[in-house]
Structure 1
Amino acid sequence: MKKIHLLLLKSFIRPFVVTLFIVMFVLLMLFLFKYIDDLIGKGFAWYTILELMLYNSATNVAMALPLSVLLSTIMTYGALGENYELVAIKAAGISLRRAMYPMIVIISILSTAAFFFSDYMLPVANLKYYSLLYDARKQKSADLLPEGVFSNSFTDYSIRVKRKDPDGQRLYDIMIYKKTADGSNTTVTIAREGTMFRTMGDKYLVLKLKDGVNYEEAPGENSSYNSRQRLTRFRFKETEQKFDLSSFKLTRTDENEFKSASQMMNLKQLRFFIDSVQQQVNGSIVTNYKLVTPYIKYFSIPAKSVVVKKFLPADKLGVLKSQKLENQMMTLSSASAEVRSIKDVIKNRADRYKSDSMTIRRYASEVQKKYTLSAACIALFLIGAPLGAIIRKGGLGLPVVISVIFFLIYYIISTIGEKSVKAGNVSTFFGMWVAIIILTPIGLFLSYKAATDSSIFDIELYKRFFNKLIKRKSN
């Protein structure tokens, strides 16, 4: 029996590791395709890009792990069925359920590890990833002087380069506008060609200009209203201009500014935050009642009164008809004013209540995510193992197609459930667990069919069934 367990474990571990790396690589490529324009051409050091990719890989575990479990289990049991090893196991008197015990133990350990990962390591990875991605996206482009357009990368300067050499160092037809304190362009430098280089430590960008002229407009000696009465022009064979590059270095935002997001919290922090917001909501309900009560106290009457012996039913229009026209207008005007006052008092507080309730639902859904990751691994294993035993195909062909289909079903249902929870349409527990609730019975049904050697995917069986059905109709 132990040899069979070792056979199953060896057959599972290798496909699991390979598929996990493949899925992680695919998700990493999707990340690079999405943010390639925000990362390329900004002069980042290689280790900054590598750090961002590492954090992104950690955040992708929540999606890659269930898919890897599903795909590897289909491949494992499919290869065993294709090589008739499952037939040999059953011939030895060992049922499929008993042969799945070591795999169930491994998947249980993997699910437990996934829970601790999502609770302790994933919040830290999300914090590092989103803070670094935010700083990288807001970083200025390292292409300081593009061809044919005016660049405002440097403060108080507007620079245009008509043409550059392929190496990007030699420039041609350069025009530099220098802005004054009031925003006007009264100093212009034009050069036929030039070269650019950076100083040590990338502190400054130096432009060496050749064969140019400088124009500067200034007010006259006795002029206080016209700033363009005197023009100074001088030609040069060679000159230098230096520009500060301190604003182009990657500056890191304080990570504490991102810690209030739900993805950056563990279970303890999420529950504490939910309790705090819930107390605010409960306190606002009491405050709202106290604010609205003075407006409706005129219509409050005691349930029982010793003085009043008989109550007459309220006449909706009788009160107004008994009054004069001007009194009716005053009554309606004061009533509408009371209604507007109540609406003004309630509106802002109602919006705040909706916002707090949405925040509670969002953080509560994040709490359930910590558990659904582990449950998804078990549910998809219950689907993958019997599917592999039924289809009896290993490798990366049919198992990949089937696993992708089931994973898409899981992902679409879970996404719809999560959005419904955040919108307040369904309860938090049902919305976050609906995909598991739907897929688990399917997995149990497939396990039963695999244990009873059912030919559920036998095409010939369905052909015979439809042929018999057609013959019956024709007769």
Structure 2
Amino acid sequence: MKRLHSFILKSFLGPLAFTFLICMFVLLMQFLWRFIDEFVGKGLEWTVIAEFLFYVSATLVPMALPLAILLASIMAFGNMGENYELTAMKAAGISLQRIMKPLTILVILISLGAFFFSNNIMPIASLKTSSLLYDIKRQNPELILKEGIFTNDLPKFSIKVGKIDKQSGMLYDLLIYDHRENRGNTNVTVADSGTMITSADKLTMNLTLYSGNIYEEVRQKIRRRNKHHPFRRIKFGAYRTSIALPGNELHRTDEDKFKNSYRMLNLTQLENQKDSLENGLLKKKENFGKSLIAKYYFRKEMKSLRTDSIKRKKLLAKTSDVDSLFSSLSVNKKLTSISNALSYARKARENVSRKDQEFIASTKWIQKYKNEWHRKFTLSFACLIFFFIGAPLGAIIRKGGLGMPVIISVLFFIIYYIISMTAERFSKELVMQPFWGMWTSTIIIMPLGIILTYKATTDSTLFNIENYIDFLKKLNPFQLLKRKSSADN
């Protein structure tokens, strides 16, 4: 049995490593396709890009690992079924459960490792990814000039070039707007030709212009509208200046800025953060209720009554019966009282409506922490469920390689992913509880694994196309009439 277990483990580990790398590569390319604009023209060093890809790869493990287990289990058992190795094992009296036993233990260990990874490694990887992506987005791009198009890549400057000689690097028909004084388009430079050369330390841009003019509006203490303002024009044959560049070094942001987000916390931190947010929301609701009662339901007594105790006692005696107090008022005072009451009611309704939206937004934010708490466990269960779907499915279809297993694996994973994303969206919108939002896909897919395991154990021909063809032939009306006539005879 040790040799048999070793053979089964080798048949599974090879496809698992291969499919996991393929899944990670595909998901990583899909991620880069989304954020490719943030990297182009930033002059980032290869070490920064490699670091970012490493952290992103760690965040993609929850999607790649279950799919890799599903695909590897189908390939492993499909290959053994196609080569009649499963048939030989069953003929020797070894059941499918015993064949799956070493892989079941292995997948359980992988699931425990996935839980540890999700709870301890994923928060750190998410924190590093978010922080580094934020810094990359803030990085100023390198200066890229295009013919006939204004370029704003240079800080405080807007540059347009008519023609670029790619061999000599000479620029022609230059139009430069200088916005360093933040006064609008008050400094314009026009030149027939020129060159732009970056210094060796990449901190300055040396600009040399030939045969042009500088138009600058003269600053005045009082600027009047609809009036002509003086300006100066400087004509030059050759003009040289230096422009300070922001530098291509990546400025790192303090990671503490992102550490309280729900994706950057483990189970204990999520629980503590959720409790603090819920307590804060409860206090806000209590304080709002008290302020609402004090401002709009029970008005404070007039200042004159605070010093006059006799008038206050009389008023309190009258207010014990509100209806009789209202009946004792004159018509004008009744109308005034009703108008004031309506005004207070409208203000209270507006205030309640505004606060209700704030409370709903806070509740949705708390819901994300609850969803993330459940997500720590769904990865482990997804690995187990996909194994118990893929292993019996491979034993039934008996096809190895990357053909049929890939199609079936991707189909099952897409169904699982759509259900998971839809239920999670319902949970974020407060339509479903966090438990159902995060576990619905698992609850729906789990019976499928049980059914497939039972069918594979009983040697079911669930995916035998010939059986379905024979069944359709039996439903053919001509065949039914032929059978009926033969039975009558």
* Shorter-chain TM-score range: 0.7 to 0.9
| 1:63 counterpart letter in structure 2 | M
The answer for the alignment partner of 1:177 in structure 2 is 177
The normalised TM-score by structure 1 is: 0.87
Q: Aligned equivalents of 1:168 and 1:107: distance in 2?
A: 63
The answer for the alignment partner of 2:276 in structure 1 is 276
Q: Aligned equivalents of 1:139 and 1:130: distance in 2?
A: 14
DSSP 3-state at the match of 2:201: helix
Q: List per-residue Cα deviations over 1:204-255 (Å, max 9, x = no partner).
A: 111233x32333557599x99899656453432x442211112654322222
DSSP 3-state at the match of 2:35: helix
Note the 1:322-341 alignment, pairs <5 A: 329-330=335-336, 332-341=338-347
Taking a change above 3 Å as real, the CA distance of residues 170 and 46 of structure 1, as seen in their structure-2 partners, is: farther
Taking a change above 3 Å as real, the CA distance of residues 89 and 245 of structure 1, as seen in their structure-2 partners, is: same
DSSP 3-state at the match of 1:106: helix
The answer for the alignment partner of 1:132 in structure 2 is 132
Asked if residue 440 in structure 1 is aligned to residue 434 in structure 2, the reply is no
| 2:211 counterpart letter in structure 1 | G
Taking a change above 3 Å as real, the CA distance of residues 256 and 466 of structure 1, as seen in their structure-2 partners, is: same
Q: Aligned equivalents of 1:357 and 1:217: distance in 2?
A: 55
Q: Aligned equivalents of 1:284 and 1:220: distance in 2?
A: 52
The answer for the alignment partner of 1:460 in structure 2 is 466
| 1:439 counterpart letter in structure 2 | I
C-alpha contact 1:219 1:227 (8 A) present in aligned 2:
no
1:275 Cα offset (Å): 0.7
Note the 1:32-431 alignment, pairs <5 A: 32-166=32-166, 169-179=169-179, 181=181, 183=183, 185=185, 187-209=187-209, 211-217=210-216, 229=230, 231-236=232-237, 238-246=238-246, 249-293=249-293, 329-330=335-336, 332-431=338-437
Q: Aligned equivalents of 1:55 and 1:322: distance in 2?
A: 76
| 1:62 counterpart letter in structure 2 | P
1:443 Cα offset (Å): 0.2
Q: Aligned equivalents of 2:219 and 2:201: distance in 1?
A: 42
Q: List per-residue Cα deviations over 1:156-209 (Å, max 9, x = no partner).
A: 433222122336943222233334736255554443333322212211111233
C-alpha contact 1:148 1:160 (8 A) present in aligned 2:
yes
Taking a change above 3 Å as real, the CA distance of residues 389 and 343 of structure 1, as seen in their structure-2 partners, is: same
Q: Aligned equivalents of 2:99 and 2:417: distance in 1?
A: 29
DSSP 3-state at the match of 1:172: strand
1:136 Cα offset (Å): 1.6
DSSP 3-state at the match of 2:158: strand
| 1:412 counterpart letter in structure 2 | I
Q: Aligned equivalents of 1:100 and 1:385: distance in 2?
A: 8
Taking a change above 3 Å as real, the CA distance of residues 144 and 231 of structure 1, as seen in their structure-2 partners, is: same
Q: Aligned equivalents of 2:156 and 2:39: distance in 1?
A: 26
* Higher mean C-alpha displacement, 362-371 vs 165-174: 165-174
| 1:391 counterpart letter in structure 2 | I
Q: List per-residue Cα deviations over 1:15-34 (Å, max 9, x = no partner).
A: 00000111111111112222
Q: List per-residue Cα deviations over 1:137-174 (Å, max 9, x = no partner).
A: 23332134332123333444332221223369432222
Taking a change above 3 Å as real, the CA distance of residues 320 and 56 of structure 1, as seen in their structure-2 partners, is: same
C-alpha contact 1:189 1:212 (8 A) present in aligned 2:
no
| 1:69 counterpart letter in structure 2 | I
Q: Aligned equivalents of 2:33 and 2:66: distance in 1?
A: 23
DSSP 3-state at the match of 2:460: coil
Q: List per-residue Cα deviations over 1:292-350 (Å, max 9, x = no partner).
A: 5566689xxxxxxxxxxxxxxxxxxxx99999976764564344234224324433432
DSSP 3-state at the match of 1:107: helix
DSSP 3-state at the match of 1:240: strand
The answer for the alignment partner of 1:469 in structure 2 is 475
Q: Aligned equivalents of 1:401 and 1:344: distance in 2?
A: 55
Taking a change above 3 Å as real, the CA distance of residues 425 and 205 of structure 1, as seen in their structure-2 partners, is: same
What are structure 1's unaligned runs of at least 5 residues?
299-318
| 1:425 counterpart letter in structure 2 | V
The normalised TM-score by structure 2 is: 0.84
Give the superposed CA RMSD. 3.1
Q: List per-residue Cα deviations over 1:110-135 (Å, max 9, x = no partner).
A: 11111111111111111111221122
1:287 Cα offset (Å): 3.0
Q: Aligned equivalents of 1:103 and 1:272: distance in 2?
A: 37
| 2:270 counterpart letter in structure 1 | L
DSSP 3-state at the match of 2:110: helix
| 2:192 counterpart letter in structure 1 | R
Q: Aligned equivalents of 1:203 and 1:116: distance in 2?
A: 46
C-alpha contact 1:169 1:197 (8 A) present in aligned 2:
no
Q: Aligned equivalents of 2:395 and 2:219: distance in 1?
A: 94
DSSP 3-state at the match of 2:147: coil
Count, aligned residues: 454
| 2:457 counterpart letter in structure 1 | A
Taking a change above 3 Å as real, the CA distance of residues 227 and 340 of structure 1, as seen in their structure-2 partners, is: closer
Q: List per-residue Cα deviations over 1:351-403 (Å, max 9, x = no partner).
A: 33212211221110001000000000001111000000000000000000000
Taking a change above 3 Å as real, the CA distance of residues 227 and 368 of structure 1, as seen in their structure-2 partners, is: same
C-alpha contact 1:154 1:244 (8 A) present in aligned 2:
no
Taking a change above 3 Å as real, the CA distance of residues 290 and 220 of structure 1, as seen in their structure-2 partners, is: closer
| 1:433 counterpart letter in structure 2 | W
Taking a change above 3 Å as real, the CA distance of residues 244 and 227 of structure 1, as seen in their structure-2 partners, is: farther
Q: Aligned equivalents of 1:97 and 1:122: distance in 2?
A: 33
* Higher mean C-alpha displacement, 426-435 vs 251-260: 251-260
1:438 Cα offset (Å): 0.8
DSSP 3-state at the match of 2:342: helix
Q: Aligned equivalents of 1:37 and 1:126: distance in 2?
A: 21
DSSP 3-state at the match of 1:202: coil
C-alpha contact 1:78 1:388 (8 A) present in aligned 2:
yes
| 1:213 counterpart letter in structure 2 | G
Q: List per-residue Cα deviations over 1:96-116 (Å, max 9, x = no partner).
A: 011111011110111111111
| 2:387 counterpart letter in structure 1 | F
1:90 Cα offset (Å): 0.6
DSSP 3-state at the match of 1:201: coil
Q: Aligned equivalents of 1:258 and 1:140: distance in 2?
A: 22
C-alpha contact 2:262 2:372 (8 A) present in aligned 1:
yes
DSSP 3-state at the match of 2:72: helix
